[in-house]
Amino acid sequence: MELNEILSRCDHTLLRVDATAAEIQALCDQGIRYGCASVCIPPCHVAGARQYVGDRLKICTVIGFPNGYSTAAVKAFETAEAIRSGADEVDMVVNLAMVKDGCWSDVAEDIHAVREASRGRVLKVIIETCLLTEEEKRRLCRIVSDSGADYIKTSTGFSTGGATREDVALLRACCDAHVKVKAAGGISSLEDAEAFIRLGADRLGTSRIVKLAMEQERTAEA
């Protein structure tokens, strides 16, 4: 698989809590240069990034991140604010407390609130696979498939684990065809990236692939 094809599926990501505006601008420059699908950045940086990139790059941000236990109303407000600031895509975290309590209708309503607030934009639902049983993953695949969301996403990258090949394959097999899969967390090599894509991931949440592309350029120029 060509490197530029992998890069075109990457949400080039910087969600570190102390990320500066200058670092976000550098991330945007890299996202544009390497043809990434988007940059995924904290909500507080969305307006500045939108002004900086104009229409040259998609801006993705996170909702209820990283814990997911904000109320549905708060998540909906956060989503609307992000869109007003210029976000093209939002990645929300499900309410894992509701998942563990088996309150499936409440989980669905939580996602629905964000879907309603994000109409016309891409919605990705982060289920944090590392904290779930297989049955919980399967139930969430059904709920996300029925929600109108565009993607199901493995991980925040802030919990006990990231994407695994087994989880990506499971999500692809259990979600309806219209729901795409985003693998995120721990994608550290081109081999990882290609494996996730071949297993059915349409997007990758990572900063490492752009760094690898930059390293390849420096090596070629040496």
The dihedral formed by the CA atoms of 156, 36, 57 and 88, expressed in degrees to the nearest 10: -40
What are the CA-CA distances from residue 41 to residues 10, 25, 104 (Å)?
13, 11, 29
- Choosing from 91, 110, 150, 192, which is the catalytic residue? 91
Pairing relationship of beta strands 180-184 and 59-63 according to DSSP bridges: unpaired
Distance CA 166, CA 175 (A): 14
Query: Which is catalytic among the residues 11, 124, 182, 192?
Result: 182
Residues 6+ apart with CB under 8 A from 50: 59, 85, 86, 87
Is 124 among the residues known to form the active site? no
Cβ contacts of residue 105 below 8 Å, gap of 6+?
Answer: none
- DSSP structure class, residue 123: E
Both tokens of residue 72? 């549905």
State yes or no: is 100 an active-site residue: no
**91 is annotated as an active-site residue:** yes
Residue in 153, 167, 180, 192 annotated catalytic:
153
Q: For residue 179, what is the DSSP state?
A: S
Closest C-alpha among 204, 175, 212, 183 to residue 3: 212
Tokens 């996202």 locate to 31
- Cis before residue 66, ω within 30 degrees of 0? yes
Enzyme catalytic residues: 91, 153, 182
